[in-house]
Amino acid sequence: MSIPESDFSPDDGERPSKSALKREAHELQKLGQELIELPDARLAAVPMEEGLLIALKALKKTKSHEGRRRQLQYVGKLMRSADVEPLREAVAAFKLGHAQDAVKLHRAERWREELAADSEAVTRWMHAHPDSDVQRLRSLIRAAQKDADAAPEQRHGRAWRELFQFIKAELRDDE
């Protein structure tokens, strides 16, 4: 016995599948989860409906697992009617900011290692950062080198940290 073809309703692309709707709902919930990781000031600056902002703040405060799950579902439901592009851009900008901060710290760390190990590095530093206080830099390098020559448990003491802070401040001023 065969089933007549008229009983089948072919998917002509007018309506998304149930699986596609679920994927979209999960993506919106994930975006909601990323939004609550933003600091309160940044979250308040993101353009969104008042109800969504209130729901996100409530999600941040919710501690129980089941309560968070249900609140996250509610946030996902509210986000279905919201414009999600500004929300995605805010999350991306926040993540990019963290990555840029990490790159700056790594750059300062490389300079510190180079300055402490190589006497020619001071010349390169002065070419790259002519407004730096060279006398202070040299004294910090000497103190850091003395710390490095100390016993292993005393290495990288106060002078090492002060040299890093000096370099970090100079790199920030040059931006």
Torsion of CA 57, 43, 104, 163, to 10 degrees: -60
Tell me, yes or no, whether 105 and 73 share the same domain: no
Same domain, 168 and 105: yes
Shared-domain flag, residues 143 and 117: yes
pLDDT by residue for the chain (175 residues), tens only, comes to: 444 444 444 555 578 888 988 888 888 888 888 888 888 888 888 888 888 888 888 988 889 999 988 988 888 888 888 888 888 888 888 877 777 778 888 888 888 888 888 888 888 888 888 888 889 988 888 888 887 766 566 556 788 888 888 888 888 776 6
Separation CA 9–CA 20 (nearest Å): 18
Whether 79 and 31 have beta carbons less than 8 Å apart is answered as yes
Residue 75 lies inside a defined structural domain of this protein = yes
We report the CATH number of the domain holding residue 29 as 1.10.60.30
Give the CA distances from residue 33 to residues 29, 57, 73, 96, 175, in Å, rounded to whole numbers and listed in that order.
6, 11, 10, 17, 33
Q: Look up the domain containing 120 and give its range.
A: 101-173
The answer on 111 and 64 residing in a single domain is no
Judgement on whether residues 51 and 113 belong to the same structural domain of the protein: no
pLDDT at 150: 66
Distance between CA atoms of residues 109 and 71, nearest Å: 42
pLDDT at 41: 80
pTM of the model as a whole: 0.49
My answer on whether 28 and 63 are in the same domain is: yes
pLDDT of residue 3: 46
Domain count of the chain? Answer: 2
Domain-embedded: residue 93: no
